[in-house]
Amino acid sequence: MFTPKYPRPDTVPMAVSTPAATYSPSVYNPTAYAPTPVPAVPASNRPAVQLTPGSVLTLAAGGGALVLVVGAVLVSMLLAVAITAASVAVCAVVTRSILKSDRR
Protein backbone atom coordinates (compact mmCIF):
# COMPACT_ATOMS: atom_id res chain seq x y z
CA MET A 1 0.00 0.00 0.00
CA PHE A 2 2.80 2.42 0.82
CA THR A 3 5.16 1.28 -1.92
CA PRO A 4 5.47 3.58 -4.90
CA LYS A 5 3.81 2.51 -8.11
CA TYR A 6 5.95 3.14 -11.15
CA PRO A 7 4.47 3.34 -14.64
CA ARG A 8 5.15 0.47 -16.99
CA PRO A 9 8.04 1.03 -19.40
CA ASP A 10 7.24 1.67 -23.02
CA THR A 11 6.79 -1.58 -24.91
CA VAL A 12 6.90 -0.11 -28.42
CA PRO A 13 9.70 -1.83 -30.36
CA MET A 14 12.36 0.47 -31.73
CA ALA A 15 12.52 0.56 -35.50
CA VAL A 16 16.16 0.08 -36.40
CA SER A 17 15.78 0.21 -40.14
CA THR A 18 14.25 3.72 -40.38
CA PRO A 19 16.70 6.36 -41.58
CA ALA A 20 17.41 9.40 -39.45
CA ALA A 21 15.70 12.60 -40.50
CA THR A 22 17.95 14.92 -42.45
CA TYR A 23 18.38 18.48 -41.23
CA SER A 24 18.40 21.28 -43.73
CA PRO A 25 19.17 24.67 -42.17
CA SER A 26 17.00 27.49 -43.40
CA VAL A 27 18.31 30.91 -44.35
CA TYR A 28 17.85 33.60 -41.68
CA ASN A 29 15.59 36.40 -42.86
CA PRO A 30 15.69 39.34 -40.39
CA THR A 31 12.78 41.15 -42.05
CA ALA A 32 10.47 38.26 -41.23
CA TYR A 33 11.02 38.89 -37.52
CA ALA A 34 10.86 42.68 -37.54
CA PRO A 35 8.36 44.03 -35.01
CA THR A 36 5.25 45.66 -36.35
CA PRO A 37 5.01 49.36 -35.52
CA VAL A 38 2.67 50.17 -32.66
CA PRO A 39 0.27 53.03 -33.32
CA ALA A 40 0.78 56.07 -31.12
CA VAL A 41 -1.73 56.65 -28.33
CA PRO A 42 -3.78 59.77 -29.01
CA ALA A 43 -3.44 62.58 -26.50
CA SER A 44 -6.22 62.79 -23.93
CA ASN A 45 -8.67 65.67 -24.05
CA ARG A 46 -8.94 65.76 -20.25
CA PRO A 47 -7.13 68.62 -18.57
CA ALA A 48 -4.34 67.83 -16.15
CA VAL A 49 -5.06 68.07 -12.42
CA GLN A 50 -4.21 71.53 -11.24
CA LEU A 51 -3.68 72.13 -7.55
CA THR A 52 -4.75 75.53 -6.31
CA PRO A 53 -3.67 76.85 -2.90
CA GLY A 54 -7.15 76.11 -1.57
CA SER A 55 -7.09 72.50 -2.73
CA VAL A 56 -3.60 71.99 -1.27
CA LEU A 57 -4.82 73.37 2.06
CA THR A 58 -7.83 71.05 1.93
CA LEU A 59 -5.65 68.02 1.18
CA ALA A 60 -3.27 68.91 4.02
CA ALA A 61 -6.14 69.38 6.48
CA GLY A 62 -7.74 66.10 5.39
CA GLY A 63 -4.44 64.25 5.76
CA GLY A 64 -3.88 65.74 9.20
CA ALA A 65 -7.38 64.77 10.30
CA LEU A 66 -6.84 61.25 9.02
CA VAL A 67 -3.59 60.95 10.99
CA LEU A 68 -5.31 62.20 14.15
CA VAL A 69 -8.22 59.77 13.78
CA VAL A 70 -5.96 56.77 13.12
CA GLY A 71 -3.76 57.79 16.06
CA ALA A 72 -6.76 58.08 18.38
CA VAL A 73 -8.00 54.63 17.36
CA LEU A 74 -4.59 53.04 17.90
CA VAL A 75 -4.13 54.72 21.30
CA SER A 76 -7.58 53.61 22.42
CA MET A 77 -6.83 50.03 21.38
CA LEU A 78 -3.54 50.13 23.30
CA LEU A 79 -5.34 51.52 26.34
CA ALA A 80 -7.95 48.75 26.14
CA VAL A 81 -5.19 46.12 26.07
CA ALA A 82 -3.43 47.74 29.04
CA ILE A 83 -6.64 47.89 31.11
CA THR A 84 -7.44 44.26 30.29
CA ALA A 85 -3.93 43.17 31.29
CA ALA A 86 -4.15 45.06 34.58
CA SER A 87 -7.55 43.56 35.42
CA VAL A 88 -6.31 40.04 34.63
CA ALA A 89 -3.31 40.64 36.89
CA VAL A 90 -5.55 41.83 39.75
CA CYS A 91 -7.81 38.78 39.29
CA ALA A 92 -4.76 36.51 39.39
CA VAL A 93 -3.53 38.09 42.64
CA VAL A 94 -6.98 37.81 44.26
CA THR A 95 -7.38 34.19 43.13
CA ARG A 96 -3.92 33.31 44.45
CA SER A 97 -4.68 34.97 47.76
CA ILE A 98 -7.99 33.09 48.10
CA LEU A 99 -6.38 29.74 47.26
CA LYS A 100 -3.49 30.39 49.67
CA SER A 101 -5.78 31.32 52.58
CA ASP A 102 -8.02 28.32 51.85
CA ARG A 103 -5.11 25.91 52.38
CA ARG A 104 -4.44 27.18 55.92
Region of 58 (left: φ > 0; alpha: ψ -120 to 50; beta: rest) is alpha
pLDDT for res 79: 97
Cα 104 to Cα 11, 94, 95, 99: the distances in Å are: 87, 16, 15, 9
Q: Vertex 51, ends 48 and 67: CA angle to 5°?
A: 120
The yes-or-no verdict on residue 42 having pLDDT over 70 is: yes
10 vs 25: CA distance, rounded Å:
32
Between residues 9 and 51, the one the model is more confident about: 51
CB-based burial, 35-53: b 16+ in 10 Å, e otherwise: eeeeeeeeeeeeeeeeeee
What does the pLDDT read at residue 38? 78
